[in-house]
Amino acid sequence: MKKIYAWLTAILMAVGLGLLVPGSASAASYCGLVWGSLAKTNQAMSTAAVTNVRTGQHYCFDRMVIDIKGKAGGYNVRYVSKVVQDGSGLPVKLRGGAFLQVTVHSPAYDNVTGKATFIPANRSEVTNVSGYQTFRQVAWAGSFEGYTTLGLGVRARLPYKVFTLAGPGSGTRLVIDVAHHW
């Protein structure tokens, strides 16, 4: 009986000193992220050309960056049942449990000469995302009439955010971050 009183006394003292605190009843967001999975759009147009597409891994999300030579225009990023090619409307094959269609309101060609400013070495694998926690594939869907589209295959329909960053130099970057979890 003395052992029970000793344990009970120790527990009460720990609670009183704040060493043992009951868990919170409210659910916290993953990594402090409060993103959603609905479409994100900005209707502005730009003649600044797409020059590169790259990806990176972060602790709480995977990131795709589209480099633009000049001021970025708008974008339309949304989950779709299938990503389609610009111009033809043909489906783009993607790996993943969900698909983001990323349309940049900027061409991947020079508006004066028509010369391409970005040509992926492999249209099906624009960047290597093997080993990424969320990304499964980045595929090229084309550049047509001032719009450039990519397909982003992800593990599941997860929250994401879209924003632009200035630089380097006079360029800008369109950034798409997709969380690893809800």
What pLDDT digit, counting tens, does each position of 124-178 carry?
999 999 999 999 999 999 999 999 999 999 999 999 999 999 988 899 999 999 9
The residue ranking higher by pLDDT, 120 or 167, is 120
18 pLDDT exceeds 70? no
64 pLDDT exceeds 90? yes
Q: Do 126 and 148 touch, CB atoms closer than 8 A?
A: no
In 3D space, the residue among 152, 136, 66 whose CA is nearest the CA of residue 107 turns out to be 66
- Percentage of residues in the chain having pLDDT higher than 70: 84
Query: Does residue 173 come out as left (phi exceeding 0), alpha (psi in the -120 to 50 range) or beta?
Result: beta
Sign of CA dihedral 4, 6, 8, 14: negative
Q: Round to whole Å and give the CA distance between 66 and 77.
A: 13
Q: At 9, phi and psi to the nearest 5? A: -60, -45
